[in-house]
């Protein structure tokens, strides 16, 4: 009986000690163009922070790198940076993920990227949204899906 209790306690204790990696992800919307955002982000990682870049694909919009900080000692943590351009708004969504580190490291990198974008390219350009005429807006919902409406003129009153 005592052996069973010891075994159960050991199993419970080991399950509390094991941790799973945190898969947090920090994101921001960049008002700059995709080309400006991608180039600036790559320079931030490679030149300013002197991190090792393991893979770059500008066409698919990602950079893989090894993140080293004072908090992790000499341990190299895998990190990724993704950029996705929105067709409707023209803004670029930037996401940074460093799986083995607390999320404030990701936020810190995004803050540095915001500052570097402003330093290199000046104030963000104003985005001009395409104005739709009243005819284009009629019969559409906010997602721009066409809604078919029955004709109202064909209904007649009964006598």
Task: Give the sign of the dihedral formed by CA 10, CA 12, CA 17, CA 23.
Answer: positive
What pLDDT does 124 receive?
82
- The DSSP code for 89 is T
Q: How far is CA 134 from the centre of its chain?
A: 34
What pLDDT does 88 receive?
80
Q: Give me the average pLDDT of each 10-residue run along the chain (159 residues).
A: 54 46 73 93 95 95 91 85 87 92 92 95 74 52 54 51
Report whether 121 contacts 36 (CB < 8 A). yes
Report whether 97 contacts 79 (CB < 8 A). yes
Count the residues in the chain. 159
Report whether 25 contacts 44 (CB < 8 A). no
Nearest Cα to Cα of residue 124 among 36, 32, 29, 33: 32
Report whether 36 contacts 50 (CB < 8 A). no
**Helix (H), strand (E) at residue 27:** strand 26-30
Q: How far is CA 74 from the centre of its chain?
A: 27
- Span 20-121: which CATH code? 3.30.310.80
What pLDDT does 108 receive?
94
Q: Count the Cβ atoms, other than its own, within 10 Å of residue 73.
A: 7
Q: State pTM to two decimals.
A: 0.64
Q: Count the Cβ atoms, other than its own, within 10 Å of residue 98.
A: 25
């Amino acid at each position: 009986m005592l052996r069973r209790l010891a075994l159960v306690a050991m199993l419970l204790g080991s399950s509390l000690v094991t941790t799973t990696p945190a898969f947090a992800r920090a994101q921001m919307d960049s008002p700059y163009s995709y080309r400006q955002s991608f180039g600036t982000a790559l320079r931030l990682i490679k030149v300013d922070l002197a991190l090792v870049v393991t893979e770059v694909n500008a066409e698919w919009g990602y950079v893989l790198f090894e993140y080293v900080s004072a908090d992790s000692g000499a341990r190299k943590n895998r990190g990724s940076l993704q950029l996705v351009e929105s067709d409707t708004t023209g803004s670029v969504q930037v996401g940074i993920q460093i799986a083995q580190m607390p999320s404030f490291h990701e936020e810190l990198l995004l803050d540095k990227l915001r500052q570097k974008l402003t330093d290199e390219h000046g104030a963000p350009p104003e985005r001009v949204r395409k104005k739709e005429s009243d005819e284009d807006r009629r019969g559409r919902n906010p997602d721009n899906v066409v809604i078919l409406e029955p004709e109202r003129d064909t209904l007649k009153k009964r006598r």
